[in-house]
């Protein structure tokens, strides 16, 4: 786990203490070293206020709506995405912003990918994240097929390891999208916290184990969704047999979560403790 530092002054102290109090809730090791070998990771231990590691991540930039009628403009500014206290912090702001493409939006946020650095077929993909909540917020940890520029979406395939829509703070969703089953027809299942807990109250570990013709989705070590070609609609194609890249983002608004309203406060934060990718060592 990434180390945390106490900052003994002002608001930073309160934020740091809050994160520390939640730190141990999912800190137990969940990967068997005899079964999985770590091949890539980012612990986000850069200097406080520093940019993401450009050898690992690329910023997606723009305010086109991203195919979902989203409201934010994704930037690479440190005010929207940076490393702090051993974490990646993605911050969504309510502000008028005009990009170099002359597109203007009333919200900003960030989306980062490994498209230029890491494309892999099969493995275990894991991240420990503390999520925002509030109407219109939409954080995600997911994968896209490397061939998206050649074949387009959804033919490239999409694996959503974790999505949360802010009006449902106790639910996350694991979903796959492919040719013939995408958008509202994507194959999806929720995982729900018990005892009135919310995903904004503590860190949780989200993981995918992806092997030939099987996808297994976990939350805090609990397997809650298994998908195989037999689960696809008749006549559709399994496209999870080729390289994919990772994405992390915090969207605002969109066709699924709906738009922010008077109950939504800003800024909103998505805290990422680490991202780790493993390959199977045993069968």
- Active-site residue list: 158, 163
Dihedral of alpha carbons 252, 258, 259, 260, sign: negative
Residue 234: closest CA among 187, 166, 196: 187
Residue whose C-alpha is closest to residue 74's, from 88, 53, 91: 91
Between the CA of residue 104 and those of 114, 129, 138, 238, what are the distances in Å?
Answer: 26, 30, 20, 38
What count of Cα atoms within 13 Å lies in the side-chain half-sphere of residue 32? 7
CA distances from 123 to 211, 214, 279 (A): 7, 11, 5
Q: How far apart are the first and last CA of the chain?
A: 27
Residue 282, Cβ density class (10 Å: 0-12 exposed, 13-18 middle, ≥19 buried): exposed
Q: List Cβ neighbours of 155 (8 Å cut-off, separation of 6 or more).
A: 145, 178, 179, 239
Contacts of 5 (CB under 8 A, 6+ apart): 16, 85, 86
Give the containing element (helix H, strand E) for 18. Answer: helix 10-23
Q: How far is CA 277 from CA 11, 99, 181, 245, 282, in A?
A: 34, 33, 27, 11, 16
């Amino acid at each position: 786990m990434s180390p945390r530092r106490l900052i003994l002054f002002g608001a930073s102290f309160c934020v740091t203490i809050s994160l520390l109090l939640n730190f141990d809730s999912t800190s137990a090791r969940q990967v068997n070293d005899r079964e999985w070998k770590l091949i890539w990771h980012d612990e986000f231990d850069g200097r406080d206020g520093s940019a993401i590691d450009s050898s690992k991540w690329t910023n997606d930039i723009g305010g086109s709506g991203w195919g979902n009628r989203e409201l934010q403009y994704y930037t690479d500014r440190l005010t929207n995405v940076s490393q702090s206290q051993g974490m990646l912090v993605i911050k969504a702001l309510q502000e008028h912003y005009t990009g170099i493409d002359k597109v203007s939006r009333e919200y900003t946020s960030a989306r980062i990918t490994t498209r230029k650095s890491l494309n892999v077929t099969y493995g275990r993909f894991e991240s420990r994240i503390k999520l925002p909540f509030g109407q219109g917020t939409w954080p995600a940890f997911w994968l896209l097929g490397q061939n998206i520029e050649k074949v387009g979406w959804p033919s490239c395939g999409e694996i959503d390891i974790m999505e949360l829509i802010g009006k449902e703070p106790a639910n996350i969703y694991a979903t796959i999208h492919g040719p013939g089953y995408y958008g509202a027809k994507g194959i999806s299942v929720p995982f729900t916290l018990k005892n009135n807990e919310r995903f904004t109250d503590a860190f949780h570990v989200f993981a995918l184990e992806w092997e030939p013709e099987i996808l297994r989705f976990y939350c805090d070590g609990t397997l809650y969704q298994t998908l195989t070609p037999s689960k696809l609609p008749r006549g559709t194609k399994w496209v999870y047999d080729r390289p994919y890249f990772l994405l992390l983002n915090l969207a605002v608004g969109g066709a699924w979560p709906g738009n922010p309203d008077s109950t939504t406060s800003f800024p909103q934060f998505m805290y990422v403790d680490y991202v780790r990718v493993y390959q199977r060592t045993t069968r």
